[in-house]
Structure 1
Amino acid sequence: MEVGQKVRIRRLRDRVSELVAKRLGQVGTIQDYKMTDGSGVGVLVQFEDKFATWFFDDEIEVVQ
């Protein structure tokens, strides 16, 4: 996955706020990468309404 790619939120690994939970199934754009727990990498995803948050790479899928 690369910065600028469109991705769909396909699942949520952990409990999250309602604001994040309603993003399930939505499409956003990868803005950056984030170190998660010392060994994992997450991605920062921004949506059309300018809301941005990070997801684990197994929570998203690339939109063609």
Structure 2
Amino acid sequence: MQVGQKVRIRGFQDKGAPEFANKVGEVGIIKEPKIVDGGKMGYIVAFNDNASTWFFQDELEEVWA
């Protein structure tokens, strides 16, 4: 996955941020990579409503358009 790429949210593991749980199924754009939880790779994803948060790589799927 690369910065600027469109991704669809296919899951959300963070129970501490319920405001982003409704983003499952939405498409956003990767803004930057982020190392999270003991060295796992994640990505900060921005959405059309100007919200952004990070997701684990396995919570994202590439969108080809």
- Using the size of structure 2 for normalisation, the TM-score is 0.89
For residues 1-64 of structure 1, what are the structure 2 equivalents within 5 Å? 1-64=1-64
Q: 1:1-40: CA deviations, max 9, x gaps?
A: 0000000000112424331011010000000011102321
Distance 2:16 2:62 in 1: 22
Structure 2, unpaired ranges of 5+: none
Structure 1, unpaired ranges of 5+: none
- Using the size of structure 1 for normalisation, the TM-score is 0.91
Aligned residues: 64
* Runs of 4 or more consecutive aligned structure 1 residues displaced over 2 Å after TM superposition: none
